[in-house]
Structure 1
């Protein structure tokens, strides 16, 4: 047993390599590959969805390449820690599904005005660049933000992120927007194969199979689609050999109505990153309180903001710390931040070759929908889990009920806001913006329930020793 392994195990018996240990080439490469497999779908899927929904077909391979390259660069910054930027832990960066709803809304605003695909992308990356500044600022006061962005607010917003995206997944299962064979048996069969395979693989006792369940499911779906004649790789020959990152390749545009929902989500992202980094610290055997811990949190949230600015500059969507990689650390016992360099290298190398994006672009919509239905449903459930950890008294239940109702309401009946000024209508018809603004305002306006107030719900508790049933309030 090496000295590094002995040192790691003395700090945490579940770890083979601790935070500052340097594993050799093969242990690092194997651990890095597992992180990439666990996060690859999360890195590329938002681009596939945005490109498909907004009709950005010709630009999708390039955007996928940029997503992979930016994810690699962001991971390197987060793990290596450059000055105050970065948590200095094994954290993988990529595009979060949390931003999808706001980005799609921004694209639809530009598209409704007759904007070209280049105008859509210029606006998406322009508002992303500006909104990232907010997270950079919040990183300095992250400890105070928790007083405003409470678990009740965060849980409500996450639910409103997931629910509208389920509609996107179901549309893909049917064949995609405007598909001539929408809802055909072939489409449902493809989606069903992916959906069932992901569920079955996720129930495996082998942790490696569970981590790669979505990747395996999508691969199986692509193989079936190939034999069904649903794949056409003839266009791959027209792609360049190497993707060259070009700053603001599509231009830079700004739209206030599109900016505000995204700005709100950056606030939520900062809180989610705090939770992810806290979990990472726990698994890595590092402190979860005190100056070292807080320094890492601030550096990690700052890196999220900086990496999102880099992403927007190089034509990719906002970046955030992935939570699924905490599970990979627990599985492999490798918490070394130096593994992040290997992860970054793999992602950048993959991104340099646009043929990878071209192949992924050929993925039939039902194949993608079968996997994303589970992912988006999981996002909504994550919001419910956050709410379950909050104190859902009468006040908080009222906040959640009104906020979720308003968010889903404007998503289902957007014409209800048609009498408002155009800018205000575009802001509030985003379910995330409407729900978040409602939840934050109600949290600030409604007084906290005092300790002496009685709850409407009584819980029966049985004393096992004497069989007496007591009521607790």
Structure 2
């Protein structure tokens, strides 16, 4: 039975819901996160020509997300926050991962070479997060909510280009921007918006899945989708450590290292919001223990992701909205979520089915997801003190980041290492924000209080 609490939680952090209630709550979390987990592999695989490996990559993404969620819920040996924190494939790394893959592709590398490089640099990058989990207090004095908001905005804006390219049919499409492509993308986009405005919680939670299903049906009826026989796949995906090999390159590593730094700060905000929703302290020793454990859990999940051939993980923010919606914050629900995700990941046929989603359909859905990332960054910035100093940092960082992204030849005459590091909006704009935040004098404290930081994340990320 739920505890007697003076708040709107039905089941608190240490309560034990019945198996049926726990499964239903877990299923809501899976609905809210499933598309988010499988979409990064779909985008990366499509952009880098990795289609033959996509079913396996998706399976491993689901399995590692399940294991990471269990680690977060259990919190054993200091690994994990001991809360209902769902782990999933991170969108924040997309641009840096694609850049690393393109680096190998331009050198004439095979799909296996591309994956070996991506997983190699992500493997070493995970140690950055493991290290940062031990000194999170110092880090938060350097990376403030202002910087986090700038970088999240840049990530979202950078990814919107990927979404709008798919919306038009994909970069390799012979009839990019064809009316039928735009119509399919618009249909999916409209369904996502309509379902998100529904008063039925389950419709909002499953809006992306329903819109993809409707879009795929419309694509089939219009002749855009020509269903192909599913490839011969093993019945069950067996995790194989470093299946594609292992390689490393500094020019590919450093942008990913910066994203690990930013991802750590973002995870701090997400965990703080989770503490507030779970009615746990947001200051003091127990709070810092949860934050350190949660970031350590993120790092371990990222390490497992690299070893078992999938992309970096993070604590999903949207699942805080499910906690708020359902009133179930019990960490034991995390075991059910992990079990469902691992079970889904065992069957590679699932990835093969999703691989056949037409690009305009996928673009219509991801356009909203990527726009939501940018909107979260903007909302976080709105909760910062926007004085002249802050506005100057925002303006300069966005100007540098988006300017370089829209004029990539600007750095062509600089050394190759410099161009590789700073030719993305995230790295150039993020580094600019960090440097300006350190060197520009500020009469007021540079670090917002823990509560202010949590409120900003809670406001920007937990609304259903």
- The alignment's TM-score, normalised by the length of structure 2, stands at 0.94
The answer to whether the Cα contact below 8 Å between 1:69 and 1:349 also exists between their aligned partners in 2 is yes
> Structure 2: how far apart are the matches of 1:302 and 1:122?
24
Residue in 1 that maps onto 2:424:
430
What secondary structure does 2:115 align onto?
Answer: helix
Q: CA deviation at 1:449?
A: 4.1
Of stretches 37-46 and 16-25 in structure 1, the one that deviates more from structure 2 is: 16-25
Instruction: Tell me, in whole angstroms, the C-alpha distance in 2 between the residues paired with 1:325 and 1:447.
Output: 38
The answer to whether residue 104 in structure 2 is matched with residue 115 in structure 1 is: no
Say which of 396, 406, 431 aligns to 1:412.
406
1:13 deviates by: 3.2
Q: What are structure 1's unaligned runs of at least 5 residues?
A: 452-473
- Which structure 2 residues correspond to residues 133-212 of structure 1 after superposition, within 5 A? 133-212=127-206
Give the superposition deviation at 1:203.
Answer: 0.6
Conserved in 1, the CA contact under 8 Å of 2:258 and 2:427? yes
Structure 1 residue 154: Cα displacement: 1.1
The number of aligned residues is: 445
Matched ranges for 1:72-471 at <5 A: 72-449=66-443
Segments of 4+ moved more than 6 angstroms: none
Classify the secondary structure of the residue corresponding to 1:247: coil
- Cα distance in 2, alignment partners of residues 237 and 436 from structure 1: 42
Structure number with bigger Rg: 1
Partner of 2:458: none
Correspondence 1:61 to 2:55: yes
Q: Deviations over 1:389-427 (max 9, x none)?
A: 112222221111111111111111111111111111100
CA RMSD of aligned residues (A): 1.3
Within 2, Cα distance between the matches of 1:237 and 1:168?
27
Deviation, structure 1 residue 228: 2.6
Query: Residues of 2 paired with 1:253 and 1:282: CA distance?
Result: 41
CA distance in 1, matches of 2:378, 2:231: 46
Tell me, yes or no, if the aligned pair for 1:41 and 1:214 is still in contact at 8 Å. yes
How far did residue 450 of structure 1 move? Answer: 6.3
Q: Deviations over 1:180-203 (max 9, x none)?
A: 121111111111110000001111
TM-superposed CA distance for 1:51, in Å, is 0.5
Of stretches 324-333 and 229-238 in structure 1, the one that deviates more from structure 2 is: 229-238
Whether the 8 Å contact between 1:395 and 1:449 is mirrored in structure 2 is: no
- Contact residue 79 and residue 87 of structure 1 kept, 8 A: yes
Show the counterpart of 2:455. none
**Under a length normalisation based on structure 1, what TM-score does the superposition of the two structures give?**
0.92
CA distance in 1: counterparts of 2:406 and 2:24, whole angstroms: 46
What is the aligned counterpart of 2:46 among 43, 48, 52?
52
Q: Is the CA contact 1:18–1:335 (under 8 Å) kept in the aligned structure 2?
A: yes
Distance in 2 of aligned mates of 1:308 and 1:373: 25
